[in-house]
Amino acid sequence: MPRVAAIVEYDGTSYSGWQAQAHAPSVQHCVEEALSFVAGEAVAVTCAGRTDRGVHALGQVVHFDTGAARSPRAWVLGANSRLPDSVSIAWAGEPAPGFHARYSALRRAYRYCILNASTRSALRHGRCAWIHRPLDAAAMHAAAQALLGEHDFAAFRAVECQSKTTRRRVERIAVWREGDLVWLDVEANAFLHHMVRNIVGTLLEAQAAADPVAAVTRVLAGRDRRHAGATAPAAGLCLLRVDYPPQFAIPAPRGGFW
């Protein structure tokens, strides 16, 4: 049975998260209903990484198996005609044999946005976390470099995280300021539940410490969630992209929004 891959973007504000749930709206349910309509049969999708309630995605990747023969254009346009404005299929195609949206991924990239201003923004509501106290983005960036490499990230996992191992490899992490916006980019082979939001919360506390780098280093080495910062709001988080080996020919998501 042919396997189809797709890139999905969504505003997660109104959803309980990616994963389908019996009594709450989910992105997965919307996508499966739309694709099933195009296929003329039930379609079940597998994603690269489940996102939480209120988290957005520019480059979520999914795959599904179907006996329906449709062109990439038909999958995209047909599904989008059935999707709400907050969810869109940006690309679809048949990858090389052996592709799996989750297990074939080399790395995931997330971006977190903070509005660092004295007043909240109506237009950025749901897309940024609002923090009114002054933030030192340079100190946050320096402290974040302590997380580079492969480590035990137990201090940054959610209590309900079900991962069998807490070791992850962070390949890139950067914090910078653009006017009233403070951005954080982080790329890793995989992430624990709430890992990015807990990193952000820890950096928000560490940036005010006498030695921000030492503060984050202690949290990482301690492997104790109680010593890390509070979980940052979901609204500021976006799954930017998922990278795969080139033989699968999964394109980069369209940019310009995050």
237-243 and 56-65 strand pairing: parallel
> What is each CA distance from 235 to 31, 62, 119, in whole angstroms?
21, 22, 17
**CB count, 10 Å around CB of 173?**
22
Q: How many CA atoms lie within 13 A of 195 on its CB side?
A: 31
Q: How many CA atoms lie within 13 A of 229 on its CB side?
A: 23
Taking the C-alpha atoms of residue 111 and residue 258, their distance in angstroms, rounded to an integer, is 8
Residues in Cβ contact with 251 at an 8 Å cutoff, skipping those fewer than 6 apart: 7, 91
Nearest to 15 by CA among 62, 60, 53, 48: 53
Taking the C-alpha atoms of residue 227 and residue 220, their distance in angstroms, rounded to an integer, is 9
Nearest to 117 by CA among 163, 182, 54: 182
By annotation, the residues acting in catalysis are 52
- Which DSSP helix (H) or strand (E) runs through 214? helix 212-222
